[in-house]
Amino acid sequence: MLVLSRRLNERILLPTVPAAVQVVSIKPGVVRLGIEAPAQVPVLREELRPQPQAHALNGAAEAPGVAEGLAAAAARLSLLRRQLGPAIPPAAAETLRHLEADLQRLQGQAPPPPAARKSPTALVVEDNPNERELLAHFLRGAGLEVGTAGDGLDALDYLHTRPRPDVVLMDMGMPRCDGPTAVRAIRRDPAYAGLKIVAVSGHRADEFDLGVGPAGVDRWFRKPIDPRELLRDVVAELEACRR
């Protein structure tokens, strides 16, 4: 690790990326950094790095199931019969017939292959573009399909024009249409009955006249969030809905 000392507003250049880091402000226990980098270069806080274990949400086993294995065996047996042709000895033909009968019996007993499970979908509503994209990037890395909205009005427009997501992660303090107003509008619409809404806000829950439960938000996370804890609870909520 290279350790450098910089004064306020002094920059560090990374010319091969290219990118630059500048000290913007210094407070007790906190240093704010400004980072300039091309749009295609992702910049993440370490705690928002995608977690590889989270794609368990998709639920599909990588190894083939019993039904698929039996179907493959039956196809190979049929190919073997064609390759041997009509000149196959009677004893071998009898063995093939028994094998085919055994496979047909096993295929009748085998459970059907599990249907591929659709990836969960989330809508991230956050007026701060950097926070919005960081959280969306983290959730995508965890196997979710993610849409984004810049405030409550954008969120309502998204819900009215796109397929219903499995969960909405809603900031509270936003311009034009804040989180509580958007949540109440969603809860009044029967089309979104049971939609999971998770508040992600720097405000406390008691600052708004908004309940925690089916009539308000299902969970409340106070910023700064632990993304791993947030993901764990969102996954638990979605899995509970699927049972």
As a whole-number percent, the residues of the chain with pLDDT over 70 amount to 75
pLDDT at 167 over 60: yes
> Would the pLDDT of 189 be above 90?
yes
- With contact defined as beta carbons under 8 Å apart, do 121 and 166 qualify? yes
What value does the mean pLDDT take over residues 189-217? Answer: 87
- 213 forms beta bridges with none
- Over the chain, what is the mean pLDDT? 79
* Total length of the chain: 243
pLDDT of residue 199: 93
Per-residue model confidence as pLDDT tens digits over 13-28: 767 667 777 777 777 7
The alpha carbon of residue 149 and the mean position of all alpha carbons in its chain are separated, in whole angstroms, by 16
Domain ranges of the chain: 8-43, 66-109, 116-242
Sequence-separated (6 or more) residues with CB below 8 Å from residue 229: 221
Q: What is the pLDDT of residue 177?
A: 94
Give the other-Cβ count within 10 Å of 132's Cβ. 19
Give dist(CA 78, CA 96) in Å, integer: 9
Which positions ≥6 away from 65 have C-beta within 8 Å?
111, 113, 114
Please tell me the predicted confidence (pLDDT) of residue 61. 42
Residues 34-88 pLDDT 10s: 777 776 666 666 655 555 444 445 544 444 567 667 677 777 777 777 777 777 7
Whether 187 and 160 have beta carbons less than 8 Å apart is answered as no
Q: Does domain 116-242 have CATH number 2.160.20.60?
A: no
Query: For residue 46, what are the CA distances in angstroms to 37, 161, 191?
Result: 17, 34, 38
How high is the pLDDT of residue 53?
44
